[in-house]
Amino acid sequence: MRKVIMGNHALSYGAMLGRAQVIAAYPITPQTQVVELLSEMCADKILDAKFIKVESEHSAMAACLGASLAGARTFTATSSQGLTLMHELLHWASGGRLPVVMGNINRAMAPGWSIWSDQNDSLSQRDTGWIQFYCSNNQEVLDTVIQAFKVSEKLLIPSMVILDAFTLSHTYEVVDVPKQAKVDKFLPPFKPEITVTPDDPHAFGGLTGPEHYFELRYKLQKDMEKAPALIEETGKEYEKMFGRYLGQVEEHCCDDAELILVTSGTMGSTARVAVDALREEGIKVGNLRIKVFRPFPFEKVRNIFKNAKKVAVIDRNISYGHHGMFFQEVKSAMYGHDHDLPIFGFITGLGGRDITPSTFREIAELSLEKNKPEEEIIWIGVNR
């Protein structure tokens, strides 16, 4: 059924169609509508789930972990300060191999208080062992949640489904909400091999000495390495049933592009508008939107860059004292493969500063007029 819904509700519908069994959440702007709708769905018995209205995000994640260990499919959603409050437990989720799926609305970190979009909240969680999906429209949000359950539960690795504050979370778009029976066919119930139950008592997460810990982390990485192929495979399976394909990346006019603009999240759709306009003027640019940030789609990126002359990575985030984080990753993907490819790193839009087609035009012009980057990072739209 086609519905006009906001990005936040696309997360809720994804969790509903995925038949989340335990939901624990704490309100934070701009995430609130996700859990408001889910709590209504639970109260109205549209969704057969327990909703635990916890007193903090830390407890939201802790409740999800307990429920997941008991064998239930779990979902939560948060943003910014809430996500970073959970930080300890994000490690717990992946280390405990508990496939929680979480929505995160990208919101800048305080101080000063900001409710507007940037990616420093989720990107500063990159080393916690979560799969990270960055979405660019509401349909993708819904479809990603359903696929994230499948991918996470196969690998026993948690997933974060990420969308920009307001530009996606509060923007209404037409979304095809699939039929429950069809989703049930795609996504079987969560049946983990080992759970916390008196019928088969085990101790989970106890004191683990150097003789065991290393191997547990090795296995986590080995399973994480299976994610790219599994995400592609799951995407194809989903496409067969629902007609929409989601992979690790999305490319637009990259084949013959002299300059590829690398983006993530909703920046991607803005970049595409800029790309089309520049193309009309005869400037050969393309857009690569990185959808899956962890595990990083090394192979995809390298393949797409094969014919590129230049790359500009646009980050709505920064690792202070270093670079934008997508920029770091893109460079590391090319290391040992193409040392001569000039890669420019741009920082823009922090704290919700508008990113418009003219932002990308400026970035494209700056990148095209120079042979190689002359600065470590290039700031766009900042008042110095």
Partner 1 sequence: MSQEKKEKKMTLSLPEEELMGSGHRACQGCGAALAMRYALKALGEKTVLCIPACCWSVIDGPFPYSSLDVPIYHCAFETAAVSASGVKAGLEMVGDTETTVVAWAGDGGTFDIGIQALSGAAERNDDILYVCYDNEAYMNTGIQRSSATPYGAWTTTTPVKHFKNRPKKDMEAIMAAHRIPYIATASVGYPEDLFKKVKKAKDIEGTRFLHIYAPCPPGWRSRSEDTVKLSRMVVQNAIFPLYEIEWGEKYTLNIKLREKKPVDDYLRMQGRFRHLTEKEIAYIQEEVNRKWERLLSLMDRSN
The residue (of 71 and 357) whose beta carbon lies closer to partner 1 is: 71
Region of 337 on the Ramachandran plot (φ > 0 left; ψ -120 to 50 alpha; else beta): alpha
Among 111, 112, 201, 336, binds partner 1 (CB under 8 A): 201
DSSP state of 108: P
Minimum distance, C-beta of residue 75 to partner 1, in the bound complex (Å): 12
Three-state secondary-structure class, residue 379: strand
Please give the residues from 33 up to 52 whose contact with partner 1 meets the rule CB under 8 A.
49-50, 52
Q: Give the interface size with partner 1 as a residue count (CB under 8 A).
A: 42
Distance CA 144, CA 335 (A): 30
The residue (of 111 and 198) whose beta carbon lies closer to partner 1 is: 198
Q: Give the number of other Cβ atoms within 10 Å of residue 32's Cβ.
A: 17
Label the pairing between strands 74-79 and 22-25. parallel
C-alpha separations of 237 from 147, 153, 271, 296, 300 in Å: 10, 16, 29, 21, 19
Q: Which stretch binds partner 1 (CB under 8 A): 62-70, 167-175, 290-298, 329-337?
A: 62-70
Does the footprint of partner 1 cover residue 63 (CB under 8 A)? yes
Please give the residues from 181 up to 200 whose contact with partner 1 meets the rule CB under 8 A.
195-198, 200
Among 12, 31, 74, 117, binds partner 1 (CB under 8 A): 74
Evaluate whether 314 touches 134 at the Cβ level (below 8 Å).
Answer: no
DSSP state of 126: G
Minimum distance, C-beta of residue 260 to partner 1, in the bound complex (Å): 42
Does the footprint of partner 1 cover residue 89 (CB under 8 A)? yes
Among 25, 72, 249, 347, binds partner 1 (CB under 8 A): 72
The residue (of 206 and 282) whose beta carbon lies closer to partner 1 is: 206
Which residues, in sequence order, are CB contacts of 169 under 8 Å at separation 6+?
6, 7, 8, 30, 31, 33, 105, 163
Does the footprint of partner 1 cover residue 85 (CB under 8 A)? no
Evaluate whether 114 touches 316 at the Cβ level (below 8 Å).
Answer: no
The residue (of 63 and 157) whose beta carbon lies closer to partner 1 is: 63
The residue (of 62 and 378) whose beta carbon lies closer to partner 1 is: 62
Label the pairing between strands 172-176 and 2-6. antiparallel
Among 206, 243, 321, 336, binds partner 1 (CB under 8 A): 206
DSSP state of 307: T
Minimum distance, C-beta of residue 264 to partner 1, in the bound complex (Å): 30
Helices 357-369 & 267-280 angle (0-180, nearest 10):
60
Residues forming the site for partner 1 (CB under 8 A): 21-22, 24, 49-50, 52-56, 58-59, 62-72, 74, 88-89, 92, 195-198, 200-209, 212
